[in-house]
Amino acid sequence: MRTLIKLIPCIYLLLAIFPVDAIPVYVDGNETNKKVLLIGLDGLQLEELKKLDTPNIDKFFLNRSYAGGILNTVSEQPTYSGPGWTSILTGVWANKHGIYSNFDTSRDNKFPSLFRRIFQAYPNAIMGSISSWSPIHQFFHTDMALLSYVSDADTDAMVVQETLQFIHNSAPDFTFIHLGNVDNTGHFFCFGERYNRAIATIDHQVGEIIEFINNQKEDWLVILVTDHGRKANGCNHGGQTSSEKTAFIATNKKQYQQPEPLDNDVYSYPALTRVADIILDFLEVPVTLNKSAYANKINAVINWSHSTAYFFLEDGKYIEYDKEADHILSIANIDDHSWPGLADYATNISAAINWDDTRAIIFLDNGKYITLNKANRSVLAIEDINEQTWPGLEKYALRINAAIDWSPNLAFILLSSGQYILLDKQQKQILHVAYIDDVSSPGLKSYARNITAFSHWSEN
C-alpha cells in the first residue's frame, strides 16, 4: 500500500512504505435514495446476444468489455467464473484479490468488496446477494455478515422471485444477483438453439425485474454484466482467446456508456473491473487514492490542470482524478485512442511533469523521455536523456522516481538514491543536487528513497 503525505503548499507524494490503516469516513445512511441492482448474467456471449431479439436487454446502454486481465502481465487471470465475479465485485484482478479458479477460498481482504466499501461509507445500508452459484458467497464469506439477505438459490427463476421479494420487503440500497442458466446451457450444449432459448429466457427475466423496479419511487442504477466469454463453439472457457475475453457491461444510465474505440482491439474496451467504479461513483462512495485498490501500483502522477490529475499505473492503465472533488473519474488503458503514441511505453513510465501550458514531460525507466502535446495528450517526441537534450541529467536518468513542476521556472526531480534535483525549466539545466534532509524538507527524510510520485495539488 502507498501512503499519501500532504505538504504546504498542497503537495502529494506517494510512498512505497509499510501499510497504514486508512480512517474510513462514515455517513449516517444512504440519504440520496439511490439504489443499485447488479445483475450477473453468467457466460453470456456478446456476439450470440447480438444475433437475437432481446427487447429487454436491448433497452440498456451497452459497452463491450474484456475479462481475464491483460495477457502476459501480472493482471492476467483465467476466464473462469471464480476470478471473473471476484474481479467484478472488487474492482481488481486476481493478482490482487487472489482468486484464480472456481475452487480458491483464500481471497485477499486487503482489496475490499463492493459490499465492504458500501458498508464503510454507509453503515446503515441494506444490502443483499442472491446467487444460483454458491461459490460466489464463499469467496466473500467474510462480508456476508454485512448483508441483510444472502441466498444460494437453486434456479434462476428462484433468484428472480427472491430478488423481487427482497426489493419489495426491504428496499435495499445495493443488491447483487447471479443468473447462471445461460452458462450451464453452454457447457452442456454449446452454442445453438438451446443456448439461444436460454438467452431468451434470461431476457424475459431481466424484463420482469426492470418492470418491477420501474414502479419504485427511487433512483435505480441497474447494471447487466457477464463474467467471461466462451470458446468459438460455446462449450467451454478459461483461456485468453478473443472470444473468451469478450464480455460486456450494460447500464440503464447513459452517463456510464463509454464511446466506441477507434480500433477493435480487446483492450480498447473497458475492463470488467470498471463495474465497481461505476457503482461506487453512483452511490457517491468516496474512493480516494490512499484507500483505493489502485494506490499500490502507481508509477507516476501529473498535475494536468487546476482540477485534473492523471495517475499512471504499473500495468499500463491510467486514472483520471478530480482533484477538487477528491475522487476517481475513470480508469482506462493507455492506448493510441486515449494517449496517441504512448501505448508502447505505458508500463515504462517512471515520472511525469507538467512542463508548461502546452507540453508535459514523461520520464521512462530506460533513460529516455517523452514530450507530450497537452492539447490532445499525444506524443510529440521521444529522446534519450543526454548532454545535448538535458545537460548534466544523463548520469541520473535511470534513477528518476518522481518529478514536479514547482513553479513556472522551476522543477524538482526526486531520485531513488534519496536525492533531489532542482531544474531550471526554461534552460533545462540542473541548478542544484542534494540529499533530502530535515532542513530542506522537514519530516520527509525518512521517506526520501521511497517516493514514487509527486504532484502539486493546489495552492493551499
Residue pLDDT, tens place only, 376-406: 999 999 999 999 999 999 999 999 999 988 8
Q: What is the pLDDT of residue 5?
A: 38
Describe the strand order of the beta sheet including 127-131 as a list of residue ranges. 61-66, 246-251, 219-225, 34-41, 174-179, 127-131, 149-152
- Residues 51 and 45: their CA atoms lie apart, in Å, by 10
- Residues 6 and 301: their CA atoms lie apart, in Å, by 15
Indicate if the pLDDT at residue 83 is higher than 70.
yes
Q: What is the pLDDT of residue 155?
A: 97
Higher pLDDT, 448 or 160: 160
Q: Which residue has the cell 456476439?
A: 47
Based on the number of CB atoms within 10 Å of its own CB, is 128 exposed (0-12), middle (13-18) or buried (19 or more)? buried
- Residues 14 and 2: their CA atoms lie apart, in Å, by 6
Residue 21's pLDDT band (boundaries 50, 70, 90)? very low
Q: How many angstroms from the chain centroid is the CA of residue 450?
A: 24
Express each pLDDT in 261-290 by its tens digit.
Answer: 766 778 878 899 999 989 998 998 876 655
Residues 6+ apart with CB under 8 A from 387: 394
Cα Rg of the chain, angstroms = 24
* pTM of the predicted structure, to 2 decimals: 0.65
Q: What is the pLDDT of residue 22?
A: 26
The 10 Å Cβ neighbour count of residue 258 is 15
How large a percentage of the chain has pLDDT more than 70? Answer: 88
Q: What is the pLDDT of residue 326?
A: 73
| Beta carbons of 225 and 250 less than 8 angstroms apart | yes
> Rounded to 10 degrees, what is the CA torsion of 265, 92, 255, 167?
130
Q: Which residue has the cell 472456481?
A: 102
Amino acid in the structure at residue 205 = Q
- Residues 452 and 321: their CA atoms lie apart, in Å, by 17
Task: Report phi then psi at 3, rounded to 5.
Answer: -105, 145
Domains observed in the chain: 34-283 (3.40.720.10), 298-447 (2.110.10.10)
Question: Which residues make beta-bridge pairs with 430?
Answer: 423
Task: Report phi then psi at 455, rounded to 5.
Answer: -140, 140
Express each pLDDT in 116-164 by its tens digit.
Answer: 999 999 999 999 999 999 999 999 999 999 999 999 999 999 999 999 9
In this prediction, residues 54-68 reach a mean pLDDT of: 96
Angle between helices 81-90 and 274-282 (to 10 degrees): 30
